[in-house]
Structure 1
Amino acid sequence: MSRLPQRIVCLTTETVEVLYALGEQDRIVGISGYTVRPPEARKEKPKVFAFTTGDIDKILAVEPDLVLTFSDLQSEISRDLIKAGVPVYALNMRSVEDILAMIETVGRLVGAEAKACALVAELEAQIEATRAQAAARIARTGRRPRVYFEEWDEPLISGIRWASELIEIAGGEDVFAEQARSPLAKDRRPTPEDVIAAAPDVIIGSWCGKHFRPERVAARPGWEGIPAVNSGRMHEIKSAVILTPGPVAISEGLPKLLEIFDF
């Protein structure tokens, strides 16, 4: 008799993405309402929770033998599920390396370690290929663009660690790379004056849950002199791509960054 989990609830989209990629989607019996990848998951799987809010009884009703959660943001539901006798595995991806480790961990949890390692190897190969392409561009142009990544606009929040690392892999220089290492959004709040002083060549907007509005960025007092604003190099990467700490951040986020920096 298999002791591997057969009825898994995934409370964030990245573990859903991984289980589908490993061909283990039949184990999923419940997902978060914020799941976006893969698209078919939203049609096939019952939505049993939001992200930080919801009814624990909906989760318990699908009789999970494992619930996958994410970070301290879901600590309360993790606690309540544990009290209810449900096994919980809390993941906490903050870096590119963490994303790759998460894929391997999920693979081990469901007995698909070989497939998980193969997926990680593909993503690692893409990372190295992107580094090589970026290095060739830098050698050709002599330029590594300075990048301001904006995760939120009111208040300003700069990019989280894995986004900052992806910028570096694609040949850019995150102007707030030091702040990106903090897991707390409150530590990633540059002032408008900080951004002006950083003088980024490129601005990337990924406003979680709403469309990036470059015209609003350009209209901020004093920002007209920022090189990125002056040249119109303000780009959106959807938060569902770059701010999801799963395979998509690498498989789709990196190519988009590489394209943006090729000017």
Structure 2
Amino acid sequence: MTIDLNADLGEGFGRWTLTDDDALLSVVTSANIACGFHAGDPSTMRRVCELAAERGVRIGAQVSYRDLAGFGRRAMDVPPDELADEVAYQIGALQAFARGAGARVAYVKPHGALYNRTVHDEEQAEAVVRGVGLAAPGLPVLGLPGSRLHEAAGRAELPVVAEAFADRAYTPHGTLVPRREPDAVVHDPEAVVRRSVTIARDGEVTARTGDRIRLRARSLCVHGDTSGAADLARRVRTALRAAGVRVEAFA
């Protein structure tokens, strides 16, 4: 049993910081680095890429709608051609800093509203995949199992990586409970740890309704903007190892 542990990093801007990048990069195996559209700026991107490269953590481009004020979590309607260009732009920017650190961008993951939109919206999903093709053909796409994003990536012959969330509530259909609804985020650390082990070892998760749903994932996300995220990620990693699950970046 093997699983990747990822977190969203570099989510600051200028003098404002949110994620504890240094601490999280000592725990996770993959780093979803903000590319400037929902958070992040050039200096932050460079610094996090350098830290990730030093510690052997895989670098991923976390692409978003252009929404700094809303942290990329507001629903937006972006024309597909424009969205493809903006996705390519973000990947290219991060790629420059990754190469400067002696590494490379190894995968792409949408953020926030774009992530959720591409679960069901085929047009937006295809635009993201076109953006990946423009910037870096062949990059794996990290996303929700069964999403339109993964279907579009498969048609474009891009590798897909199924992702699960340790600290987000699920619907009985295997999708994430929208953040605007109550109990969309799991705050109890013990519950997050238990869910992580169940996802990795048993391939299932308990939905908010109490239903057990199948969830085969190769990567597990612990949100970097959660309070005490680094400590929580350490507890998750320790529990996974104790359960016989090897924690390493996906191939």
TM-score computed with the length of structure 1 as normaliser: 0.25
Structure 2 length-normalised TM: 0.26
Question: Bigger relative contact order, structure 1 or 2, given CA contacts below 8 A and separation 6+?
Answer: 2
Greater radius of gyration (CA): 1
Indicate the structure with greater helix content: 1
